[in-house]
Chain A
Amino acid sequence: MLRIHCPYCREVREEEEFGYAGEAYIARPAAPEEVDDAVWGDYVFHRKNPRGWHWEQWQHVAGCRKVFVVKRHTVTYEIAGSWTLAEGKALYLSEEQS
């Protein structure tokens, strides 16, 4: 059972309080009408699905209802940290670059 730290409530809570909300930081095309079906389909459906560290969204559905980001290892389920979406993005982008 995962234990997740809600960066808004600032407490660690049981997994059952949260809803999993998918891969984080997926960029919706700014001009969908200008991309072809393949690019649009990639956005709607394709996912990294990594065997390793994963930046993912969780929502505190039984609590503050905020959506935040968690960096979790999909094999060991170890959680490296959880951040607000804004704070996490900077870290996420710096990782993507390196």
Chain B
Amino acid sequence: MANRYSLWSLIKHGLKHHESWQPAWQSPTPRNKYDVIIVGGGGHGLATAYYLAREHGITNVAVLEKGYLGGGNTARNTTIIRSNYLWDEAAQLYEHALKLWEGLSQDLNFNVMFSQRGVMNLGHTLQDMRDIERRANANLLNGVDAVVLSPSEIRDIVPLMDVSSKTRYPVMGASFQPRGGVARHDAVAWGFARAASELGVHIIEQCEVTGMLIDGDRIKGVKTTRGDILADKVGCVAAGNTSTLAKMAGIRLPLESHPLQAFVSESLKPCLDTVVMSNAVHGYVSQSDKGELVIGAGIDSYLGYGQRGSPHIIEHTAAAIIELFPSFSRVRMNRQWGGIVDVSPDACPIITKTRVKGLFFNCGWGTGGFKATPGSGNVFAHTIANDAPHRLNAAFSLDRFASGHLIDEHGAAAVAH
């Protein structure tokens, strides 16, 4: 890689006042035609482009992003990564992603700060614990690491959590995935962008798709705010904005775009070493490397593209966090924000061909897309390159909503994530 990053490169460039760093990615003028257009320059879209180039040798690719790359949900999520989903199809897809996370920084030569500090899902009722047992056993049999913890074991890992029996919903136990954790979201977008750009992919920012060029039953390209661009294949990876794109192709999808809110505290000395999630009290929390508590809520119930939601959600989530961590009551929220999550009826993604030849969609990740980023891009690249799904995304086609073969991950996705 020409622009290779390393400690040595920092020293070298530091001595030269950092004046010779190369752009992290190029910003070329769009061609008239590409082999593949990816609509959506978030983590999943950039990952798709990268794997198209890297694993399939398809480099005549453009990623079209209506804003600045990585500026959608990739910039707004709470960065949780895990693969401990319930159903085989989901667990195997997320585990594929997790394995890619485990070498991603080296692969991209960009430190995405993937930190495997574990993810804990608390159980507060007998049924929660049954579901945890079921999921843990399924995980183990799917080759996904899983441990079931007792309240005292939880307290050993998270000393500040209230695991007493006095709380409203006493903690009865938890599932724990040691290999789960967090990563730095912006770095993921930038890392994939840089690696893809290095392989010849064109990343075109400030370029919004306004229509699809379809001839008969085949895609020909897209109309954009920077002109028409032709392509043999078009893959849409636009998260909350997917329905809008689908409509341009006359396709209806089972998606609803909801606000998803999150907030951070001020920066604190380390006090939480793992990721804690609770469906019962509705909230999840981890601590970033900068020291901020990163806290996520459930979705707002109404449709929303405004990247903001209602304040009572934040209030209830703060109450949930204090319920779990009474000592956090005096910690302060610094900033709150929201994203647009495309929720599907079974809380599982839709990675699919469509009835328009050459048109593919990768969407429906809802509140849990960040963790799948490399895996999603990887299988979607395969799907586009081969015009057929990868073994791991075959179950996630659009027609499962006709056949009834839903893969219901509401339990594992639960509060969000």
Contacts and interface: CB of A to CB of B under 8 A. Distances in A.
| A, B co-complexed | yes
Interface of A: 1-2, 15-16, 19-20, 36-38, 40-42, 44-51, 54, 56, 72, 74-77
B402 A49 contact: no
Contact of A46 (B302, B303, B401): B401
B302 A51 contact: no
A46 B310 contact: no
30 contacts: A1-B310, A2-B310, A15-B310, A20-B301, A36-B402, A37-B402, A37-B404, A38-B402, A40-B402, A41-B404, A42-B252, A42-B402, A44-B401, A45-B254, A46-B253, A46-B401, A47-B252, A47-B254, A47-B255, A48-B243, A49-B243, A49-B303, A51-B243, A51-B257, A51-B305, A54-B303, A74-B305, A75-B305, A75-B306, A77-B304
A77 B254 CA distance: 22
A70 B304 CA distance: 14
Interface string B298-321: 000111111000111000000000
A76 to B, nearest CB: 7
A58 to B, nearest CB: 8
B137 interface: no
Given A1-B310, A37-B403, A41-B401, A47 B305 contact: no
B345 interface: yes
Nearest to A41: B402
A12 to B, nearest CB: 15
Contacts of A16: 312
Interface in B230-280: 241, 243-244, 252-257
Contacts of A40: 402
A31 B244 CA distance: 30
A42 B342 CA distance: 17
Nearest to B400: A41
Contacts of A37: 402-404
A74 B303 contact: yes
A25 B243 CA distance: 19
Given A37-B402, A40-B402, A45-B254, A51 B304 contact: no
Contact of A45 (B301, B302, B304, B345): B345
A40 B254 CA distance: 12
